[in-house]
């Protein structure tokens, strides 16, 4: 076993620099935690894995975060805040509803390769009641609300069927939209012949267009 490359703090540095380094380390931990937690789930990722990937010892994490759950919470808050910003920006574009939905789908498929349903599972089963409640609300506000806003425009413009016409409300539409971003579709794609890395974005864009087309117009002739 090789020792991981460790960042070597030199003596005599000013307080400012140390604070910057400390903040830098904190951000590194959050980024590594995001990649691991979002792909493998809360339970499967150990604090030592995260520490190792950061070039730190495992106890060092507890200088930055109270415990494993606090680290997950901080990661999730940051991730959801980031998502919220991007999704709201797309939702406000002056483009047709269907085009904005395509952009939302494409973004979710390219950037979050992991399944957000796994995050839902973790929120529901692996975290304490308080954190669960917090993230539950945040999930709704950051992910569902921006998507529902676009569907709501579609309903107001008369492009979509209202619930009384056999359609669904905007929030339900957003959940259906998110469900189509799930592991099943991604998994189906993985069974296709291996795809060159540089074609991934194109594929995601094509798949986004397909998913939105299906959701809007259905499979029937």
Partner DNA sequence: CCTACCGATCGGTAGG
Q: Which of residues 52-91 bind its own copies (CB under 8 A)?
A: none
Q: Residue 220 has which token pair?
A: 């029937």
Residues near DNA (CB under 7 A) are: 6-7, 9, 18-19, 21-22, 25, 45-48, 51, 55-60, 62-63, 66-69
With respect to its own copies, which residue has the nearer C-beta, 51 or 173?
Answer: 173
Running DSSP on this structure, what letter comes out for residue 2?
Answer: P
Q: How far apart are CA 124 and CA 129, in angstroms?
A: 9
User: If you compute the radius of gyration of the chain from its CA atoms, what whole number of angstroms results?
Assistant: 21
With respect to DNA, which residue has the nearer C-beta, 21 or 95?
Answer: 21
Contact 105, 208 (CB under 8 A): yes
Ramachandran sector of residue 114 (left: φ over 0; alpha: ψ -120 to 50; beta: rest): beta
Contact 142, 87 (CB under 8 A): yes
Nearest CA to 39 out of 141, 90, 148, 114 is that of 114
Which one of DNA, its own copies, none is in contact with 47 (Cβ closer than 5 to 8 A by kind)?
A: DNA
Q: Which of residues 87-146 bind its own copies (CB under 8 A)?
A: 115, 117-118, 120-121, 124-126, 140
Signed CA dihedral, 212, 217, 220, 221: sign only: negative
**Shortest spacing between CB 17 and DNA, in angstroms:** 9
**Shortest spacing between CB 26 and DNA, in angstroms:** 7
Q: Which of 28, 86, 131, 168 binds its own copies (CB under 8 A)?
A: 168
Q: Which of 182, 195, 199, 206 binds its own copies (CB under 8 A)?
A: 182
Q: How far apart are CA 147 and CA 55, in angstroms?
A: 38
Q: How far apart are CA 200 and CA 21, in angstroms?
A: 35
With respect to its own copies, which residue has the nearer C-beta, 22 or 157?
Answer: 157
**Shortest spacing between CB 11 and DNA, in angstroms:** 11
Stretch that binds its own copies, among 7-15, 54-62, 127-135, 152-160 (CB under 8 A): 152-160
With respect to its own copies, which residue has the nearer C-beta, 43 or 82?
Answer: 43
Contact 110, 181 (CB under 8 A): no
Which residues are near its own copies by CB under 8 A? 39-41, 43-44, 115, 117-118, 120-121, 124-126, 140, 151, 154, 158-161, 165-168, 171-173, 175-176, 178-180, 182-185, 187-188, 191, 210-211, 213-221
């Amino acid at each position: 076993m090789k020792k991981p490359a460790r960042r070597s703090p030199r003596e005599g540095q000013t307080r400012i620099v140390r604070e910057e380094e400390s903040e830098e380390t904190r951000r590194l931990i959050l980024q590594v935690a995001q990649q691991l937690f979002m792909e493998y789930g809360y339970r499967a990722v150990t604090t030592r894995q995260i520490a190792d990937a950061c070039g730190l010892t495992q106890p060092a994490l507890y200088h930055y975060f109270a415990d494993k759950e606090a680290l997950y919470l901080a990661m999730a808050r940051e991730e959801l805040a980031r998502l919220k910003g991007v999704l709201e920006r797309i939702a406000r574009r002056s483009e047709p509803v269907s085009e904005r939905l395509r952009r939302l789908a494409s973004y979710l498929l390219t950037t979050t390769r992991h399944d957000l349903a796994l995050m839902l599972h973790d929120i529901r089963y692996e975290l304490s009641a308080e954190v669960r409640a917090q993230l539950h609300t945040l999930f709704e506000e950051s992910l569902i609300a921006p998507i529902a806003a676009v569907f709501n425009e579609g309903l107001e413009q008369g492009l979509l069927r209202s619930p009384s016409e056999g359609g669904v409300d905007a929030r339900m539409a957003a959940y259906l939209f998110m469900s189509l971003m799930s592991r099943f579709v991604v998994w189906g794609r993985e069974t296709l012949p291996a795809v060159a890395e540089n074609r991934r974005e194109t594929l995601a864009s094509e798949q986004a267009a397909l998913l939105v087309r299906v959701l809007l117009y259905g499979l029937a002739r």
